Structure 1
Amino acid sequence: MLVMQNRMNLRVHEDWQAQDFEWYRAIWTECAELIEHYGYKWWKKQEADMEQVRLEVIDIWHFGLSALFGNGKSIETIAGEIEAELANFHASDLGVREATEALALHALDTRGFSPLRFWQLMQASGLDFDALYAAYVGKNVLNFFRQDHGYKSGTYTKIWGGREDNEHLAELVLTLDKNADDFSEQVYDALKRRYQDIVPQVES
């Protein structure tokens, strides 16, 4: 996933690590969006949208991985540091809101990212590592797909046939073999076929 994230960031800026982007700000902002989907208003009836919550968790992971790059660290070094931090991970009794706030607070305090606090949030939202991996690969591919189809220039159509591209992605991933060596290529091809089938009808 670190390899894929680096590749995506290179697509956005060829020297992205030297730009000192404020990944921590994206992390706590995504945390706020997650809380909106989960619900926090005690003065009105709210139902947690756990599918959207988990999508926000995946978005946070993208920014978190990016934040771990720095000081010329190799991908192998970063992977080792994540593994070491999580080696003694124990199940937490934090709820989604509390785990989200702990991660956001760490991001604001340190301007960094905590894999341990992220793991607590991942667990609280009902994701395991396999689910994280499959969802991450899917969203990473979608980000590439968006770039290939005019996201940066503003010509990309994010709503396909009345549904957001994230929804199409989640549906398509369920039909594919997540253990296949070409899983990411399968995701891209499936997105491309559906996009071409639907978007011309929307634009015409």
Structure 2
Amino acid sequence: MNSKILLMVQLQNQLNDATNGEEWVKGITKNKKLINWKRCIYMECAEMIDSFPWKHWKNIELEPDWDNLQIEVVDVWHFIISLGIENYFKTMRGGVEDLANDISEMDSFARIETDSLDFAEQNEVIEKVEDIMRTVLAKEKLALEELFAEFFDLVIMSGLNLDALYRLYVGKNILNQFRQDNGYKDGSYIKVWDGEEDNVVMKRIWEENGDITPEKLYHELEKSYLALTKSE
């Protein structure tokens, strides 16, 4: 079993438990609100497409926002892991470790264990994103392995590999925890810090501190946020 996959699946399970209560695997939050991971995925995919100047009538000379694309890819990964955990629970295929083990053994997973970090052509990336949307919108039984395979294709096309996906995922997971601890649900959380989205701040902290731990990352986010809120 790949240790990075296992940790990402475990972290996602813990975040969902903390955010939605331990009954979330049944498709409902602790406040009895329905959870729809498929909708989360295709809505996030739509946002991902806006990383590109795809509108033929507007800003056609702009360059793709690859940094934003990578962050959106990681956001979709949160939801795909969640859908996988929920699916394994509902179909009695197993728990977190079973899912992580099965992902590790997928042929499609082996493709992201690479040193290559090249971006694909813009339209190819958009088509792959739309493939993911079609898979989760299909009325037939969920093709979970196909969804993972399409996502791992997207990882490669977005200039990421396993190590880069892992670092960004852990960073965004910690940021999500930080958001929840600082008023994200009640709307009091400030998402733009001195003109930059918190996503961008988190990504820069990772890039500037290659050996930073998740705990230290949380602390650095906390320091930046406290400085922001004190200045307002």
Provide the TM-score with structure 2 as the length reference. 0.79
Residues 33 and 74 of structure 1: CA distance in aligned 2, closer, same or farther (over 3 Å): same
Instruction: Name the amino acid aligned to 2:10.
Output: V
Instruction: Please point out which of 85, 92, 97 is paired with 1:76.
Output: 97
Residues 150 and 90 of structure 1: CA distance in aligned 2, closer, same or farther (over 3 Å): closer
Q: Is the 8 A contact 2:171 2:214 kept in 1?
A: yes
Q: How does 1:1-204 map to 2 (within 5 A)?
A: 1-14=8-21, 15-19=23-27, 21-44=35-58, 45=60, 46-69=62-85, 70-71=89-90, 72=92, 73-86=94-107, 95-109=124-138, 110-111=141-142, 113=144, 114-178=147-211, 183-201=213-231, 203=232
Partner SS for 1:37: coil
Q: Is the 8 A contact 2:191 2:197 kept in 1?
A: yes
- Deviations, residues 167-200 of structure 1 (Å, cap 9, x unaligned): 111111112234x6xx110110110111111222
Partner SS for 2:50: helix
Q: Is the 8 A contact 1:169 1:191 kept in 2?
A: yes
| RMSD, matched Cα | 2.0
Structure 1: gaps (5+ residues): none
Q: How many residues align?
A: 198
How far apart are the structure 2 equivalents of 1:159 and 1:31?
Answer: 22
Q: Is the 8 A contact 1:27 1:104 kept in 2?
A: yes
Residues 87 and 41 of structure 1: CA distance in aligned 2, closer, same or farther (over 3 Å): closer
Residues 106 and 87 of structure 1: CA distance in aligned 2, closer, same or farther (over 3 Å): closer
Instruction: Name the amino acid aligned to 1:86.
Output: D
Residue 115 of structure 2 is matched in structure 1 by: none
Q: Is the 8 A contact 1:96 1:124 kept in 2?
A: yes
How far apart are the structure 2 equivalents of 1:88 and 1:51?
Answer: 22
Q: How far is 1:111 from its partner?
A: 5.0
Q: How far is 1:130 from its partner?
A: 0.4
How far apart are the structure 2 equivalents of 1:87 and 1:128?
Answer: 12
How far apart are the structure 1 equivalents of 2:172 and 2:107?
Answer: 23
- Deviations, residues 56-84 of structure 1 (Å, cap 9, x unaligned): 10000000000001325211110122123
Structure 2: gaps (5+ residues): 1-7, 29-34, 113-119
Q: Is the 8 A contact 2:109 2:149 kept in 1?
A: no
How far apart are the structure 2 equivalents of 1:112 and 1:56?
Answer: 22
Partner SS for 2:51: helix
Residues 90 and 190 of structure 1: CA distance in aligned 2, closer, same or farther (over 3 Å): closer
Instruction: Name the amino acid aligned to 2:228.
Output: I
